[in-house]
Chains A and B, each alone.
Chain A
Amino acid sequence: MRDKITTSLRLYSILIYIFLYFPIALVVLFSFNSGNYAADMQGFSFRWYGETWRDPFVLEALRNSVFIAATSATLATVFGTFAALALQNVRGWLRTLYDGLIYIAIIIPGIVIGIATLIFFVQFFGWLNPWLQILFGPSAPKFNLGLPTVIAAHTLFTMSIVLVIVRSRIAGMDRSLIEASNDLYATPFNTFWQVTLPQLLPAIMAGFLLAFTFSFDDFIVAFFVAGPNTTLPIYVFSSIRRGVTPKINAIATVTLIMSLGFLFIVQYLLTRSNASAKKDGE
């Protein structure tokens, strides 16, 4: 009886995994198709990877995506880390409020962030641009939706992710290390550089990689605020309307491998830093 239950449970979970990963496996498989159609496997080749690499539209979108992801992840890492450091000294109801706001920023649906930032930018630029015209004449710069607005929107929500990761590392850190450094004649500034930062570095790097991945994979927010620019997900979305080509599969496969690779590194960094935090706390 028990055996039967175990067997059927096992079967069930296998089905779940097939259901989850079969489509993804198909995408990867068909990206190696040598034929012209996405769903008609002719033979194995790297042909579509080559074609993708030579496509100027893809390259343009890729450049935009990498630029946005790198810039927004850097900004998010800097802001998130400093926010986490500053929040150490906040206690009581104010702390609860901040924590609540951070978690809300993480769980808020992308579409809400997209609409909200779009409305904000449109309103803000609609107010700012006339003033700039008045102040600096017709040659004044004009602000519009573009890569910077995507970067700003991405920084907004990835910053919270960095903050949460770095903060949990700060909480697990041994306070006496900082006191020991103080005791050994290091000024607060040197203590920060020589002890605090190295201790937080794995978490900071993990936060950067996660922020990069989230930004790189994001379609919804970018779609709202990118203006006339394309990012890789936007390119994929718009070209799908003209039918799925093996090229799309190739792009999806590369994105998938890169994201998985980053997540793997993040996981490694975080478990390692937690393990060493446990050791310090002994």
Chain B
Amino acid sequence: MKQSALDIDVEFRNVVKTFGTITAVDKVNFQIPKGSFYSFLGPSGCGKTSSLRLIGGFEQPDSGEILIAGESVAYIPPYQRHVNMVFQHYALFPHMDVASNVGYGLRQQRPRISPDEISKQVKDALALVRLSGYEKRRSWELSGGQQQRVALARALVNKPTVLLLDEPLAALDRKLRKDMQVELKTLQREVGITFVFVTHDQEEALSMSDRIAVMRDGKIVQEGSPTDLYRQPLDRYVAGFIGQSNFISGEVVEAGDQVKIKTQRAVILQAPKSKVAKTLAVGDKAVVAIRPERINLRNQNEAGSDGFAGKVAQITFLGDQTEYHVETEQVGRLLVRMNSGYAGYASGDPVIVYWNQDAGLALLDD
């Protein structure tokens, strides 16, 4: 899909940012569509925060160009960018109450906004994050989740072109985090502002985002919708980072759309190539990646010719689903996830693991 410049809120063109000898952001290119929920996902130190701070104007790129709403923002300081940030530790002003915190951005506007108008907008913003009546509270009188919402209201009240969120849920406990994920996503739909979200939690990114950029060592490895990334990962790194995968490594013996890979144990496995990946060549080191839910188990005496014999080594009961770790002679240890109602295998049971040929994906190993 080709998008016109007007539909893009934030764009990076070959942006580089170094700190001394460390390259935090390395020739990064991306386009964030207007009104979308866009996430940067990657492990610690991969350059997510740096990318966000470049958009906010807290850092200047060494080279490359940053565009917000189609305009280059080189040398435009943070206070002149129509972008707001929710800081990881919220950064609420401790010497002000909730209402003054939320109204802070409005009070800086010139020409001045009347105090009545400000308090009305503050009230609306607090209602939006379900904190009506908290105007006079101080930040230390609020719970972590409430502080987070004040920070959100303080940013949203300015109706920015883009809202930047740096791991805003990291400090919350698991239950609250789940609730806030849903709430944030709903809020984003409601206000229609572009959200740029940073997280190292793949589940969080998958459940909330319209698009995700997976980062590694300052580079974007792959960018796409959650389903694209899950179904068609570019390489082993992305497949391992987004969801869980079994990897069986070997060497390519027959290339094409269907790839044949010979494992160390001389087993030949066939799997389709990832649609987004470059073609694999004969002799390349590669893996067959298979999601745990795409693998099946059957008893060794049941009919069927395909599959590999193994033994259940460990069982993890997850409630609606059960995970089996199966130790096989030919393809190593595999993780299999099945609906709990289905099968009842016990630890030590001899089983056969099998999967459809199109359940796997042939990917370049790294």
Task: Decide if A and B are genuine partners.
Answer: yes
Q: Are A186 and B95 in contact (CB under 8 A)?
A: no
Q: Are B95 and A183 in contact (CB under 8 A)?
A: no
Q: Are B79 and A187 in contact (CB under 8 A)?
A: yes
Given contacts A185-B158, A186-B108, A190-B108, contact A180 B79 (CB under 8 A): no
Residue of A nearest to B103 (CB): A184
Tell me if A174 is interfacial: C-beta within 8 Å of chain B.
yes
Given contacts A179-B78, A198-B95, A279-B140, contact A184 B84 (CB under 8 A): yes
Q: Are B87 and A180 in contact (CB under 8 A)?
A: yes
Residue of B nearest to A180 (CB): B91
Q: Which residues of B contact A188 (CB under 8 A)?
A: 79
Interface hits, A151-184 → B, CB 8 Å: 174, 176-177, 179-184
Q: Are B95 and A182 in contact (CB under 8 A)?
A: no
Q: Are A184 and B154 in contact (CB under 8 A)?
A: yes
Given contacts A176-B87, A176-B89, A282-B89, contact A183 B79 (CB under 8 A): yes
Q: Which residues of B contact A280 (CB under 8 A)?
A: 91, 94
Interface hits, B235-268 → A, CB 8 Å: none
Q: Which residues of B contact A180 (CB under 8 A)?
A: 85, 87, 91-93
Q: Are A182 and B77 in contact (CB under 8 A)?
A: yes
Interface residue tally of chain A, by bracket? 20 to 34
Main SS of chain A's interface residues? helix
Q: Are B91 and A174 in contact (CB under 8 A)?
A: yes
Q: Which residues of A contact B92 (CB under 8 A)?
A: 180
Choose one: A179, A194, A281, A282; the contact of B87 (CB below 8 Å).
Answer: A179
Please, what's the 1-or-0 string for B164-183, where 1 marks a CB less than 8 Å from any CB in chain A? 00000000000000000000
Q: Are A195 and B78 in contact (CB under 8 A)?
A: no
Alpha-carbon distance A174/B158, docked complex (angstroms): 23
Tell me if B218 is interfacial: C-beta within 8 Å of chain A.
no
Which of the listed residues B95, B109, B155 has the most CB atoms from chain A within 10 Å of its own CB? Answer: B95
Given contacts A184-B154, A280-B94, contact A179 B109 (CB under 8 A): no
A150 CB to nearest B CB, Å: 36
Which of the listed residues A177, A185, A198, A280 has the most CB atoms from chain B within 10 Å of its own CB? Answer: A185
Choose one: A174, A185, A279; the contact of B105 (CB below 8 Å).
Answer: A185
Q: Are A183 and B93 in contact (CB under 8 A)?
A: no
A223 CB to nearest B CB, Å: 42
Alpha-carbon distance A199/B77, docked complex (angstroms): 23
Given contacts A179-B58, A279-B140, A282-B89, contact A184 B158 (CB under 8 A): yes
Q: Which residues of A contact B91 (CB under 8 A)?
A: 174, 176-177, 179-180, 280
Tell me if B56 is interfacial: C-beta within 8 Å of chain A.
yes
B115 CB to nearest A CB, Å: 16
Q: Are B58 and A185 in contact (CB under 8 A)?
A: no
A133 CB to nearest B CB, Å: 54
Tell me if A8 is interfacial: C-beta within 8 Å of chain B.
no
9 A-B residue pairings within 8 Å (CB atoms): A177-B93, A177-B94, A179-B58, A180-B91, A181-B104, A183-B79, A185-B158, A186-B104, A279-B140
Could you list 4 further interchain pairs (A-B, Cβ under 8 angstroms) beyond the known A176-B91, A184-B84?
A: A176-B87, A177-B93, A183-B58, A185-B108
- Top 10 A-B pairs, shortest CB-CB distance: A184-B105, A180-B91, A176-B91, A185-B108, A182-B78, A198-B95, A186-B108, A183-B85, A184-B104, A185-B79
